[in-house]
Amino acid sequence: MTKKILGIIPARYASTRFPGKPLADIGGKIMVQRVYEQANKELDCVYVATDDERIEKAVLAFGGKVVMTSVNHQSGTDRCAEALTKVKELEQSDFYAVINIQGDEPFISPKQITSVAHCFNDVATQLATLVKPVTSSDDLFNPNKPKVVLSKDKRALYFSRSPIPYLRGVEESQWTDKHSYYNHVGLYGYRADVLFEITQLAIGQLEAAESLEQLRWLENGYSIRVEETTEESHGIDTPEDLENLLKSGLI
């Protein structure tokens, strides 16, 4: 039997660096609509989860599915858990897993979504995400681009804003030539029962130190399956990011 997978796009209006970001116009379509349409190419059931009626109205206007969630959630993971409960009732259906799709990547690759979804063909998979090979020192030493260390069986051992591992006796400019480093791509998959479990966990020392929520899961013994992608992502964090994207010729 095919496992039913739900796609959730968390979308907040009150972004500090870019208020109203999900409603930003990108070539005649709002940002959240572009994300929704990309996700809908690969998943049979996709919902936007928001805490703002302006976003709800906009999603309904383009024919999308949407659920209202609390304004108090601290992360997209928490919002996904509430959305899953509501969607199960609306759809009168259970879901085996949930894919948390970033609402600020209007050109997210459907293949990346599929890669995460396919991780759940293995019943041992609790959580899943993507990594991308690091090709430049700028990315390696950029604390805003978390790095991931992997096990031989494609599990995440650790995430860090620092370049890990440290290469002893090698000039930093040569690190990417001497070792395979990976950046984390922020697309998450959760087995449904695990999603409810991890949202009950308290913030641990590792997450508090690095401000990376996935460290909470590792610190509590959960396993994160990792797949590799080489496709570029185009996340929009600021109005300047959007301006650069519009100038890039992607639209």
pLDDT in tens, 123-153: 999 999 999 999 999 999 999 899 999 999 9
Total domain count, the chain: 1
Token pair listed for 93: 């259906």
Give dist(CA 77, CA 94) in Å, integer: 18
Q: Is residue 224 part of a domain?
A: yes
Token pair listed for 32: 């959240």
Residue with tokens 């290469």: 167
- State the pLDDT at residue 120: 97
Q: Is residue 250 part of a domain?
A: no
- State the pLDDT at residue 55: 96
Q: Is residue 216 part of a domain?
A: yes
Domain residues for 236?
5-244
Which are the contacts of 173, defined by CB distance < 8 A and separation ≥ 6? 137
Q: Is residue 232 part of a domain?
A: yes
Q: Is residue 249 part of a domain?
A: no
- State the pLDDT at residue 1: 46
Q: CA angle, corner 9, sides to 84 and 96, nearest 5?
A: 35
Q: Residue 39 belongs to a domain with what CATH number? A: 3.90.550.10
- State the pLDDT at residue 237: 80
- State the pLDDT at residue 18: 86
- State the pLDDT at residue 128: 98
Residue 113, Ramachandran bin (φ over 0: left; ψ between -120 and 50: alpha; else beta): alpha
- State the pLDDT at residue 245: 76
Q: Is residue 39 part of a domain?
A: yes
- State the pLDDT at residue 114: 96
DSSP E strand stretches across the chain: 5-11, 25-26, 29-30, 45-50, 66-68, 97-100, 127-133, 147-150, 156-160, 182-191, 224-228
- State the pLDDT at residue 243: 84
Q: Is residue 29 part of a domain?
A: yes
- State the pLDDT at residue 15: 77
Please state the φ and ψ torsions of residue 192, each to the nearest 5 degrees: -55, -45
pLDDT tens for the chain, residues 1 to 251: 478 999 999 999 887 778 899 999 998 999 999 999 999 999 999 999 999 999 999 999 999 999 999 999 989 999 999 999 999 999 999 999 999 999 888 989 999 999 999 999 999 999 999 999 999 999 999 998 999 999 999 999 999 999 999 999 999 999 999 999 999 998 999 999 999 999 999 999 999 999 999 999 999 999 999 999 999 777 888 888 888 877 776 66
Q: Is residue 235 part of a domain?
A: yes
